[in-house]
Structure 1
């Protein structure tokens, strides 16, 4: 057997059904990912302290934790992309999961190839010959660290943001003073277009405004252009 590629993206799987864990491990490792699988949330949380994965696949129906509460904590504390895998198929369940910070939501039963494709969409990287993206941005008295997933104000107070919020923030900061349409956001960030995507974007932008101490009725940085999209107003310096 070939030794695992230690540079391959690491996917942590949390599902209490052994058959699903095996299916996901087989599909992901065959596609070049490293995996660690857990049947209980306590084991999963202990594993995260030892190694930070690039992606977390989380089932909501867990025997020892509330799945949605776990997703919300991961979104606040982890830099990993979070994908829910659940048998809960109602629209409200999907919206709630996205509101709590998940990046994507896959309904059981699923095709393992779809999970692999969704993960790859979340881990899009620059071409090998492209320069590594800058990880720190300065704007309007704020510092945003995309390595540590924190916003730092002029007084040095840190406010964490989730991976999902960071995707939206980076998109704005990389295109300041330019209109970004919903279609552009969907194309850049991935995910299926529609009500769930629009709702997820609304939630992430609202949270970013709160963390940036914006007036929700008259934000000065992230402006909504009704019927067109959003504009981030301000000068941005990257390091």
Structure 2
């Protein structure tokens, strides 16, 4: 079995070295980059399993890059940043990051978080197939695409896909905020709640839902959400 590949994008040489050594010792392969342009050039040749991305880059905006990664790549995206404000964490998660680690960090914690994300991916893939049909839509979790009944496609991010899969695996059942946090991971609190609100709002937009009266993803105020579609997995 191939060792998972982790791409590290950080302009600080010490950070790249610390992460690369810790991950190599833990059994991962690594590639390191100081600039976003080098990192993006590498992505055209090799798609890593995990991307560790710093937000303060010398040549590009880190948040914009995270958003692109979330939409275009199948990799887990983890932000590692010195920006510790709640709003920065919320924005990073809203744009599609799977996790947010604040500098300074313990390398062992980074390794543990990466393993947790990959384990979650592996369990998800093993649990059932990666294509589901519901109410005229097809969600493909391999290509991260939503297809309507005309064949028109709309991409969704890895993070949005986690929420969508959670709904599709439990149709017509109440899913509480606590259940979402326990299933999807991340620290409970305002930043997690706001990130979930944004991901659900984006899913509703992509599913062409009426924001005032959504048919598929219903909000049960004070309790959670219910997905009302008829789901068939392939």
TM category (shorter chain) comes to: over 0.9
Instruction: Give yes or no for the alignment of 1:44 onto 2:2.
Output: no
Residue aligned with 2:52, SS: strand
Displacement of 1:131 in angstroms is: 4.6
Gaps of 5+ in 1: 1-5
Q: Quick one: which of 195, 213, 226 aligns to 2:221? A: 226
Aligned residue for 1:140? 135
Shift of 1:8: 2.1
What RMSD over aligned residues (CA atoms) do the two structures have, in Å? 1.4
Q: 1:160 aligns with which of 155, 160, 166?
A: 155
- Return 5+ residue gaps in structure 2 as ranges: none
Give me the TM-score of the superposition, normalised by structure 2. Answer: 0.95
Aligned to 1:3: none
Render the CA deviation track for 1:175-232: whole Å, top value 9, x for unaligned.
Answer: 1111111111111111111111111111111110000001111110011111111110
Which residue does 2:164 correspond to in 1?
169
Aligned to 2:123: 126
For 1:182 and 1:10, the matched residues in 2 are separated by 32
Matched residue, 2:146:
151
1 CA distance for matches of 2:169 and 2:3? 27
> C-alpha displacement at 1:30, in angstroms?
1.4
CA offsets, 1:117-173, max 9 Å, x none? 11122112239xx95520100000001000000000011110000000000101110
Number of positions where the alignment pairs a residue of Structure 1 with one of Structure 2: 232
Which of the numbers 67, 81, 85 marks the counterpart of 2:80?
A: 85
Comparing both structures, which one devotes a greater share of its residues to helix? 2
Paired residue for 1:117, among 92, 98, 112? 112
Structure 1 residues 217 and 63 mapped into 2: Cα distance closer, same or farther (>3 Å)?
same
Q: In the alignment, which residue of structure 2 is the partner of 1:20?
A: 15
